Structure 1
Amino acid sequence: MKKFITVITICISVFGLQAQELTSPNGNLEMKFSLKENGTPAYQLFYKGEEVIKTSTLGLELQDDSTSLMNEFEISDTKTSSFDKIWTPVWGEQAKIRNHYNELAVTLDQPSTDRKMIIRFRMFNDGLGFRYEFPQQENLVYFIIKEEHTQFAMTGDHTAYWLPGDYDSQEYDYTTSKLSEISSKFDEAWVGNASQTQFSKSAVQTALMMKTEDGLYINLHEAALKEYSLMNLNLDENSLVFESWLTPDAIGNKGYIQAPAVSPWRTIMVSDDATDILASNITLNLNEPNKIEDTSWIKPMKYVGVWWEMITGKSTWNYTDEFPSVKLGETDFENAEPNGKHGANTAHVKEYIDFAAENGFDGVLVEGWNVGWEDWFGHSKDYVFDFVTPYPDFDVEGIQKYAESKGVQMIMHHETSGAIRNYERHLDTAYQFMNTYDYPAVKSGYVGDIIPRGEHHYGQWAINHFLYAVKKAADYHIMVNAHEAVRPTGLRRTWPNLIGNESARGTEFQAFGGSKPNHVTILPFTRLIGGPMDYTPGIFEMDISKINPDNNSHVNSTLANQLALYVTMYSPLQMAADLPENYKRFPDAFQFIKDVALDWDESKYIEAEPGEYITVARKAKGTENWFVGNVNGTTPRTSKIKLDFLEDGKKYEATIYADAKDADYKTNPQAYKITKKSVISKSTLKLTSAPGGGYAISIFEKE
């Protein structure tokens, strides 16, 4: 169903001010928009009659412009409409998505400059989205944003689950604190990384998850980020008002705009049930529909790869230790002495291909296959890789033919070393190379400071590149899984070949000292709000010293928790990240990874509390099979889950992979038990999750 209703908005005059109201389709949310006495736009948000966002101002400060788009506005027009339509994603957590909202578009005139700006609000049942629009006009054509001043005024000192504000990195553990404690805990939350830029000790990143003392859940984020800079939030701890803080370019400007243009949507999700935040489709619905006409080549993939052994230090990306530096086209690799630890060699890669074929995996990722890794990082090099020249021990053609004979496809790896300009020079050649050797997907990386020097990972220049690479990949029928790129904001609806992102602290950090055991109970409320994450789960050996004696890191998770991640950390691109030999040690547990689906008809969010636990059930696309995952924080917990999502009258068999009684993420992470039960829609399961633990369940219809 699709309908548009345009009505005349009645402007209520209060002390010379004009106010408009917008409600959600179910009536639970209400937004009030008005102009202050100086003509500054402002809004308030209410949930079930209670104020959620206090009066907050809107506007943009322009470079070298004393008036800017901040005040002196008058309302010249308002339009309201409603929209209700079902659309079908190419892949996702559900087969059909409803896009249902009421809209208010407020046209603002600035008489002193003869300029015009529209603020468009869309109210859904689970939240509000709004953006700035700059229509074509004589007096606002090209302009530079000095700062966007969008406010989110909080009603109290909420509990927040936050990452430090940063122009270059999202790879942090989450800190849980009151809003008023952010600055005092900022240094503790800040940890070193390959590229990062701190700008304020009261700044946090979106998606920001909060909980009020009254049990209300609030999430602040953005949608459809393109041709604009990423938004951080800076908090005034006295007033508890967040204000947008855009990422600057190398000379400090925060956006170059040519009208007509629009900003990204700013989103506020609100509910008194945490599962509503997980189930929300606001981010997707605020993006444009799919622009790829033929999507038959876009297919979810489950893969293994030559990766974890390098992350843990068992093997290396580089082929030789002979050269202090490398220059492509000049360094003689053919006559170099191999270091004996290079993981991406032909014989070893074929072992992974065999393992993938034997266990029903779609693909094999190989990192470190191409020349240049000997001095790839930290030298501010522009020309690091050419993305087509293999090391002497990597037979591109032979591996491709071997993989094809086994029914497996290879996944390409492009590490740019942050040299974006170099990557764009080589992009067509690299994608054509992938087509030639039948690589359907690429994992791209942007480790280190961005080149051109002074640009940031989340500035407008880099954001334009990330989308350019995805669009260019679509021309070659290539799926993209970008690491160290900007966090997703729902663009996968428009460009569904953007099949995955890292853009947060993933499993690799478990080999770099470990992540907090409750990290995975927060990520679905934050990072995954914008899109799927290539978290690379499935680690079975938690003691990294058993892989590399020189690495004493520990994976802070139980084995059952690792299985559950395939359900709770949604992605159409899922890796079984551990070494094949570790899966062979636990074949009964490995069965769940082999069975679990990648694409879904339905998703049910059964129970959730950020930082504490999440339980999700998903129905595999085109089947009657369900998979359930539960991840737990640091407190042991017993949950009772009803299986009322199963079809009445049918019988199923549930295979339960759960923590054993003595399981603990620190002391006994590999303790698990597997049980089988006959279940129906009226069944209830009572299961206990250990600290850092969880459970995974496969439910198959009985024949």
Structure 2
Amino acid sequence: MKHLTLMMCFFLGVILSSKAQLLHSPDGNFTMKFTLLQDGTPTYELSYNGKEVIKPSKLGLYLVDDEKSLLDGFSITDTKTATLDETWTPVWGEVAEIRNHYNELAVTLTQKGTERIMMVRFRLFDEGLGFRYEFPQQKNLVYFTIKEERTQFAMTGDHTAFWIPGDYDTQEYDYNESKLSEISGLFDAAVTANASQKQFSKTGVQTALMMKTADGLYMNLHEAALINYSCMHLNLDDKNMVFESWLTPDAQGNKGHLQAPCVSPWRTIMVSNNAADILASKMTLNLNEPSKIEDTSWIHPVKYVGVWWEMITGKSSWSYTNDYPSVQLGVTDFEHATPNGTHAANTAHVKEYIDFAAEHGFDGVLVEGWNVGWEDWIGHSKDYVFDFVTPYPDFDVEGIHQYAQSKGVKMIMHHETSGSTRNYERHMDAAYQFMVDNGYDAVKSGYVGDMLPRGETHYSQWINNHYQYAIEKAADYHIMVNAHEAVRPTGVCRTWPNLIGNEAARGTEYQAFGGSKANHVTILPFTRLIGGPMDYTPGIFEMDIDKMNPNNHSHVNSTICNQLALYVTMYSPLQMAADLPENYNRFLDAFKFIEDVAVDWDDTKYLEAEPGRYITVARKAKGTNNWFVGNVNGKQTRESNIVLNFLDKGKKYTATIYADAKDANYKTNPQAYTIKKVKVTHKTKLSLNSVEGGGYAISIIEDKS
């Protein structure tokens, strides 16, 4: 049931005056103040529970080739206020219903001399503030180019931040925890190698940026509804503790080409005295438009396995042959090439994965390296890399389709673009139709390496428009998208719910590239996942990579129970059991949790949370009365104490607890765990050991007897 109330008003949460505009959140805890300085510069400030959290901060845009930017000289020519309180139903999600409740102030500004109009729209929720720039149809501002956006976030102190380097091409970094004043000194060490990367400042960081103040407030800065605009980073003036927006440039160095009427993405600020509130917030989704897909019946959550981890570890290869120093599609003869003996995407091997998926109740099987071109796919600034429809000689598309269909398993397509966006768009219709013809309804796309056209980066306006084009084109073919190396999500999955996953962060693959910090997964939900679900690819059971590839001495910095918990703590409607079947077969009792855990939910409770330290989450499986709990722990062993008061009163449940053993250690004894079953009710209290880099997972099944 949906309740919608829209009221134009001057009394619900807003006080207007000639000098300042005040906007209050529905619960009254937040107050936003908008003011014009004497020179007509727009500013805002934000307080929470009477305490200043954003000091007066300037707004506006620098324009290219224009003698007068949109920075000052403004007067207020109109104000409109509204409140909205509605409930909407997501296609998939952490909860069955989402409440969207805010008070709004829209300030129309007219610039003296140019008579150009710019509106700043503020929405204040109980979780925080969203605001954006709007440019209505007008004679004096039609086509314009952004040199930079001047959106400031003036901090009230030298907060503790969880940050990664600002970069136009990648978010695949381990997170750093430091004072804001320490970022510049730590920046060079924070930059680690990637296939494509470009930093812009020693104090530049990426959103979503998570911070904690000295007096215990949690703050998050991000953006929502990134459409037809470049990705926003933040550059810190560490003398004055002021962040300013830093947009990603295009190949010409411009930050955006706009045509009125148009809007910017929302700039978001969340604040709470409880870190769990940041995780539970749906503000980012609420700042996006409702679904543009009328019939969403074909969109569904997916739990899958795949031919992937064995290539990531170096056990197997994506390429089919070693005969050629380079290949050209349509010219290179693969039919008479010598197989290299390590190609994983072969028919017999893929059928083994299909059998495993069918036996253990998985929905799908992903296969990477099935299509010709992997012999020289990266690092050559090569336009025509793949055609996305031609298989290697040892991959029987039709035979695999029929075999998977007979087992009740869906195949998941893989499209690696090698950053060549023009080539992907050239082949996109044929590739999606090929998927439809062969029973694929989901695609994992990739953008590894430097982008083409040359000079573009992964997060520029032009490339962001490509990602959006791919999502919308996929919807025409009823295909779900899981985009890797694309721009980090900003809640667009509400508008286009066929976007069921993204990578856009340092995922599990880096555990095979030298490892990630043991507390990495206690930070990601506060940062990367604020904008939408991540295809993190959890579920690794064999932590010593050299047991699969003797030449790779990486170690997965996690215990098995930590890997189990990720299916609950790292929310996604798309979840992979990433390890090899033979490794799961060694620990089938622990693998039972991955078999059982849901991927779609009716309710979610964040039981305890502290960024970089620990997260404990309980989720209720869609359409059932069964709950799953996950706990991931950071760098210090601790006792996690929780109460199961989210369970229904008067009902009994059986809890299966997968916990770190007393002697578990993510470095030396990661496969040590215990499993026990206990009867529980809503009054049950649990105290569980969670080691460094460890955690626990619990399935709670209602007793029917």
Q: TM-score range by the shorter chain?
A: over 0.9
Q: Confirm or deny: 8 A CA contact 2:658 2:676 kept in the other structure.
A: yes
Amino acid at match of 2:612: G
Deviation (angstroms), 1:4: 1.7
Say how many residue pairs are matched: 699
Q: Which residue of 1 aligns with 2:201?
A: 200
Alignment of 1:55-70 (within 5 A): 55-70=56-71
- Alpha-carbon deviations, 1:402-426, whole Å to 9, x = none? 0000000100000000000000000
Amino acid at match of 1:136: Q
- Alpha-carbon deviations, 1:317-336, whole Å to 9, x = none? 00001100000000000000
Q: Which residue of 2 aligns with 1:506?
A: 507
Distance 1:503 1:452 in 2: 20
Deviation (angstroms), 1:3: 1.2
Q: Which residue of 1 aligns with 2:6?
A: 4
Pair 1:336-2:337 in alignment: yes
Amino acid at match of 1:431: Y
Deviation (angstroms), 1:649: 0.1
- Alpha-carbon deviations, 1:561-598, whole Å to 9, x = none? 00000000000010000000000000000000000000
- Secondary structure of 1:469's counterpart equals helix
Distance 1:615 1:21 in 2: 37
Amino acid at match of 1:236: D
Q: Which residue of 2 aligns with 1:386?
A: 387
- Alpha-carbon deviations, 1:214-263, whole Å to 9, x = none? 00000000000010000000000000000000000001000000000000
- Alpha-carbon deviations, 1:265-299, whole Å to 9, x = none? 00000000000000000000000001101111101
Distance 2:259 2:462 in 1: 14
Alignment of 1:323-402 (within 5 A): 323-402=324-403
Alignment of 1:474-489 (within 5 A): 474-489=475-490
- Secondary structure of 1:303's counterpart equals strand
Alignment of 1:397-436 (within 5 A): 397-436=398-437
- Secondary structure of 1:411's counterpart equals strand
Distance 1:290 1:636 in 2: 43
Q: Confirm or deny: 8 A CA contact 2:519 2:635 kept in the other structure.
A: yes
Pair 1:320-2:325 in alignment: no
- Secondary structure of 1:181's counterpart equals helix
Distance 1:104 1:513 in 2: 49
Q: Which residue of 1 aligns with 2:533?
A: 532
Q: Confirm or deny: 8 A CA contact 2:613 2:635 kept in the other structure.
A: yes
Distance 1:6 1:376 in 2: 56
Distance 1:464 1:233 in 2: 21
Distance 2:382 2:291 in 1: 37
Q: Which residue of 1 aligns with 2:104?
A: 103
Distance 1:26 1:555 in 2: 44
Deviation (angstroms), 1:7: 2.4
Distance 2:6 2:319 in 1: 58
Distance 2:67 2:130 in 1: 28
Q: Which residue of 2 aligns with 1:76?
A: 77
Q: Which residue of 2 aligns with 1:671?
A: 672
Deviation (angstroms), 1:111: 2.2
Distance 1:7 1:279 in 2: 29
Deviation (angstroms), 1:64: 1.1
Deviation (angstroms), 1:11: 4.2
Q: Which residue of 2 aligns with 1:586?
A: 587
Change (3 A) 1:10 1:564: closer
Pair 1:548-2:553 in alignment: no
Q: Which residue of 2 aligns with 1:269?
A: 270
Q: Which residue of 1 aligns with 2:647?
A: 646
Amino acid at match of 1:102: N
Q: Which residue of 2 aligns with 1:139?
A: 140
Pair 1:251-2:245 in alignment: no
Q: Confirm or deny: 8 A CA contact 2:664 2:672 kept in the other structure.
A: yes
Q: Confirm or deny: 8 A CA contact 2:627 2:699 kept in the other structure.
A: yes
- Secondary structure of 1:390's counterpart equals coil
Q: Which residue of 1 aligns with 2:176?
A: 175
- Secondary structure of 2:5's counterpart equals coil
Q: Confirm or deny: 8 A CA contact 2:233 2:247 kept in the other structure.
A: yes
CA RMSD in angstroms, aligned pairs only? 0.6
- Secondary structure of 1:107's counterpart equals strand
Pair 1:37-2:42 in alignment: no
Amino acid at match of 1:367: E
- Secondary structure of 1:4's counterpart equals strand
Amino acid at match of 2:446: G
Pair 1:159-2:164 in alignment: no
Deviation (angstroms), 1:153: 0.2
Q: Confirm or deny: 8 A CA contact 2:15 2:23 kept in the other structure.
A: no
Flag as ranges the 4+ runs of structure 1 deviating above 2 A: 7-13
Deviation (angstroms), 1:66: 2.4
Distance 1:262 1:483 in 2: 26
Deviation (angstroms), 1:114: 1.0
- Alpha-carbon deviations, 1:158-198, whole Å to 9, x = none? 00000100000000000000000000000010001000001
Alignment of 1:620-631 (within 5 A): 620-631=621-632
- Alpha-carbon deviations, 1:98-137, whole Å to 9, x = none? 0000000000001210110100000000100000000000
Q: Which residue of 1 aligns with 2:602?
A: 601
Deviation (angstroms), 1:639: 1.3
Distance 2:303 2:17 in 1: 57
Distance 1:5 1:304 in 2: 49
Distance 1:126 1:361 in 2: 37
Amino acid at match of 1:455: E
- Secondary structure of 1:425's counterpart equals helix
- Alpha-carbon deviations, 1:126-149, whole Å to 9, x = none? 100000000000000000000000
Amino acid at match of 2:8: T
Distance 1:639 1:666 in 2: 21
Q: Confirm or deny: 8 A CA contact 2:373 2:386 kept in the other structure.
A: yes
- Secondary structure of 2:154's counterpart equals strand
Deviation (angstroms), 1:2: 1.4
- Secondary structure of 2:6's counterpart equals coil
Deviation (angstroms), 1:10: 5.7
- Secondary structure of 2:640's counterpart equals strand
Distance 1:699 1:141 in 2: 58
Q: Confirm or deny: 8 A CA contact 2:168 2:457 kept in the other structure.
A: yes
Q: Which residue of 1 aligns with 2:25?
A: 24
Distance 1:611 1:10 in 2: 39
Deviation (angstroms), 1:67: 1.4
Scaled by the length of structure 2, the TM-score of the pair is 0.99
- Secondary structure of 2:8's counterpart equals coil
Q: Confirm or deny: 8 A CA contact 2:16 2:22 kept in the other structure.
A: no
Distance 2:15 2:342 in 1: 73
- Alpha-carbon deviations, 1:494-527, whole Å to 9, x = none? 0000000000000000000000000000000000
Distance 1:400 1:147 in 2: 50
Pair 1:116-2:121 in alignment: no
Distance 2:338 2:662 in 1: 51
Amino acid at match of 2:409: V
Amino acid at match of 1:454: G
Q: Which residue of 1 aligns with 2:86?
A: 85
Deviation (angstroms), 1:681: 0.3
Distance 1:639 1:365 in 2: 36
Distance 1:420 1:7 in 2: 47
Q: Which residue of 1 aligns with 2:290?
A: 289
Deviation (angstroms), 1:12: 3.0
Identity %: 75
Distance 1:324 1:10 in 2: 70
Amino acid at match of 1:112: G
- Secondary structure of 1:473's counterpart equals helix
Query: Which ranges of structure 1 fall in alignment gaps of 5 or more residues?
Result: none
Amino acid at match of 1:267: T
Q: Which residue of 2 aligns with 1:576?
A: 577
Amino acid at match of 2:595: K
- Secondary structure of 2:469's counterpart equals helix
